Each structure stands twice: as structure tokens, then as C-alpha cells.
Chains A and B, each alone.
Chain A
Amino acid sequence: MKIVAVTACAAGVAHTFMAAEAIENAAKVKGHEIKVETQGAIGIDNRITEDEVKNADAVILTTDITIRERERFKGKKIFNVSSTACIKSADKIILTIEEKING
């Protein structure tokens, strides 16, 4: 499966990156392709391209604060999760996505 994700948190200093690392790791362990864009205090890193959005089977967006340029993902299957959920239970999130996408 191809997954893209965007993480962000209130301060944009730690949880943004912890969530990014956790979800990326969990997806890779299950053999999925994933790209995670971080929207932190440092700015936007690892920006997701138009093509990557087009080819993605699933989009994960954190809900802590408004994701910038959210309209890019219109019409895609979006999974909204908190950054804390990404950190604490990334495996479960990936499992849920697998079930929803693959039926």
C-alpha cells in the first residue's frame, strides 16, 4: 500500500517528529511505502508532491492543529488521528487502514 502522512503539533518541536517517526516506522514494518511530511516550528519538511498524493491509497493527517494545505488531499481516503495516537499506537492505526482499504 502507498501511504502519505502529515504530522503537526501545537509547539511543532517534538510531537510532530515523534509522530512522524512512529507512523513511518510502523508502516515500513508492515511492508508499506510511506512518506511523512512534517509541519513543525522549523517549517515544512519532506513535502508531499502532487504525484505522491495522486498515487496514495491512504492519507494520515494529525488532528492537533490545522494541517496546512489540507485541500491537497480532497477526494482521498483520509484518516484523522492525534499525534499522541501516532506515538502510542501507530501499529493499530496502520492495521485499521489496512482493514479499511483492503476490505
Chain B
Amino acid sequence: MLINRNLIMLDAEFDSKDDAIEKIAKLFESEGYLNDLAGYIQAVKQRELEISTNLGDGIGMPHARSNTVKKAGLVFVRLKNPIQWDGDNSPISVIFGIAVPESGGNLHLKLLAQLARNLIYDEFKEKIFKIENKDALLELIKEATKGVNE
């Protein structure tokens, strides 16, 4: 499963982008998605240095395809207080964290593309910022990633 109930965090309290990346990685680790926690954190931070994954509208998508990942996973986080993601862009309050194994080919890109397509719809955006019920959120995200949700 790409995502499960335990990979959804609401009212999360992160201090910074690094803190967010580390805590999301720990969540993946605790659910058995990683081979190497430190290596995955490093890979995601490296990716952010290339081009920030701030998509605007308060949404960030930190991700990595790496051999530190055991199986493909998706974390959804909604923050209690927004955090700064990079110098120029607006702060982030919703995060989709993505982990894909080295053998996953283009899966991470397909997943990102599919999520990005959903994000142009105000109705979807509104829901991911507002829904309080984890099961309803899980359903919404599963529906949004249908077709790439292995």
C-alpha cells in the first residue's frame, strides 16, 4: 500500500523544513518503508537543493527515489502552524512526502504528476486543507492517486 492511516498526520508541529523532512522520514521508517533512515533524509534534502518542491498555495512535495527506500510510500501532513519552505515562496502548511525505491522507475514522477493534476481543482485543495476525519482524507488521497496506487 502506498498510503495507510498511520501515514497521515494532522495538526503536526514542525519547526522548519529540515524538521519536517526528518519527521516524515521517521514516519516512513516506523511503518517499514525504509532501509536506511539517514540515507533517505539525505536524499530528500539533496533533492530540495536542486529545485524546491514548494508548489505554491501552501503545498510542498518533498520526495526522493533512492535505494534507501524499501517500498513506495506517501505521507500526508497538515501542519498546525505553517513553516517557511524556501526563501522566495510562500509558507507551507500541507505536505505530501514521497518515497520510492530505486527500482521504482518513474513511479514517483507519475505519482507527483497525478497529485499535481488534482491540485488545480479548488475543491480538492479545499478538502486537503479542511477535512478533519483521517479515513475521509485517506479515501480522498487514494482516489486522487488512483492508477498509480500500487
From 25 to 76 in chain A, residues with beta carbon under 8 angstroms from any chain B beta carbon are 25, 38, 40-42
From 8 to 63 in chain B, residues with beta carbon under 8 angstroms from any chain A beta carbon are 51, 53, 55, 61
Q: Which residue of A lies closest to B63 (CB)?
A: A13
- A: number of interface residues (CB 8 Å): 17
Are A17 and B51 in touch, CB under 8 angstroms? no
A18: which B residues are within 8 A, CB to CB? 55, 116-117, 119-120
Q: Which residue of B lies closest to A11 (CB)?
A: B51
Tell whether B106 is near chain A: CB-to-CB under 8 Å. yes
A42: which B residues are within 8 A, CB to CB? 106, 109-110, 113
Are B120 and A87 in touch, CB under 8 angstroms? yes
B121: which A residues are within 8 A, CB to CB? 25
Are A17 and B106 in touch, CB under 8 angstroms? no
Are A14 and B55 in touch, CB under 8 angstroms? yes
B113: which A residues are within 8 A, CB to CB? 13-14, 16-17, 38, 40, 42
Interface string of B102-123 (1 = CB under 8 A from A): 0000100110111011111100
- CA distance in complex: A13, B98 (Å): 13
B61: which A residues are within 8 A, CB to CB? 14
Are A13 and B112 in touch, CB under 8 angstroms? yes
Given contacts A13-B113, A16-B113, 16 further A-B contacts (CB under 8 A): A13-B53, A13-B109, A13-B112, A14-B113, A14-B116, A15-B116, A17-B116, A18-B55, A20-B117, A21-B118, A25-B120, A25-B121, A38-B113, A42-B109, A42-B113, A87-B120
Closest 3 CB pairs of A and B: A21-B117, A14-B116, A17-B113
Binding site for A on B (CB under 8 A): 51, 53, 55, 61, 106, 109-110, 112-114, 116-121
A-B contact pairs, 26 of them (CB 8 A): A13-B53, A13-B112, A13-B113, A14-B61, A14-B112, A14-B116, A15-B116, A16-B113, A17-B112, A17-B114, A17-B117, A18-B116, A18-B117, A18-B119, A20-B117, A21-B117, A21-B120, A22-B120, A25-B120, A38-B113, A40-B113, A41-B109, A42-B109, A42-B110, A42-B113, A87-B120
